[in-house]
Amino acid sequence: MEMSPPERSALVRREAARLCRALDWAPLHEVPLPNGRRADILALCPDGCFACIEVKSGALDFLADTKWPDYREYCDQLFFAVDCDFPQHLIPPDVGLIVTAAYEGAILRQAPNHAIQAPRRRALLRRFARLAATRLADLHDPTDFAPLLCE
């Protein structure tokens, strides 16, 4: 049975996140960026660098996306994550390539490094930490008590 694009995207995202964890990267899903974009996965690497991973469900998804260059200014490395059926020749050569299959993923092409500036890295690290901590707190207590604290 053929998977729908959202199902395919969810599978690629899960396997890309598993790869991140295997690489000792800390992946965070759906990260809003200061420029109004949203990174599918933003991963904090052990050296303090950020890898942004844009998940694509297929060729049409990739070809319709013109916003992906906007992620570069908020990461040290930019990757596309696709499944093994994706036509890999579509991915630009100046972007890393992660390919996923059932329960695994691999970096087939390393992303070039383009270091972000220190003030932006500091701000992004704070954003990353606050978002991760808030999501973790929500897992432990999914009831939103914030409005009660303001009354």
pLDDT, tens only, 10-68: 999 999 999 999 999 999 999 999 999 999 999 999 999 999 999 999 999 999 999 99
Residue 58 maps to a domain: yes
Residue 150 maps to a domain: no
Whether residue 1 has pLDDT greater than 70: no
Structurally, how many domains does the chain consist of? 1
Whether residue 147 has pLDDT greater than 70: no
Whether residue 145 has pLDDT greater than 70: no
Q: What is residue 99's predicted lDDT score, i.e. its pLDDT?
A: 97
Residue 18 maps to a domain: yes
Q: What is residue 63's predicted lDDT score, i.e. its pLDDT?
A: 94
User: Which CATH number belongs to the domain containing residue 89 in this structure?
Assistant: 3.40.1350
Whether residue 144 has pLDDT greater than 90: no
pLDDT, tens digit (0-9, with 9 covering 90-100), for 82-141: 999 999 999 999 999 999 998 889 999 999 999 999 999 999 999 999 999 999 998 888
Secondary structure in 3-state letters for the chain: CCCCHHHHHHHHHHHHHHHHHHCCCEEEEEEECCCCCEEEEEEECCCCCEEEEEECCCHHHHHHCCCHHHHHHHCCEEEEEEECCCCHHHCCCCCEEEEEECCEEEEEECCCCCCCCHHHHHHHHHHHHHHHHHHHHHHHCCCCCHHHHHC
Residue 79 maps to a domain: yes
Residue 149 maps to a domain: no
Q: How confident is the model at residue 2 (pLDDT cuts 50, 70, 90)?
A: confident
Q: What is residue 146's predicted lDDT score, i.e. its pLDDT?
A: 58
Residue 92 maps to a domain: yes
Domain with 64, as residue range(s), is: 5-142
Residue 125 maps to a domain: yes
Q: What is residue 5's predicted lDDT score, i.e. its pLDDT?
A: 86
Residue 148 maps to a domain: no
Q: How confident is the model at residue 148 (pLDDT cuts 50, 70, 90)?
A: low
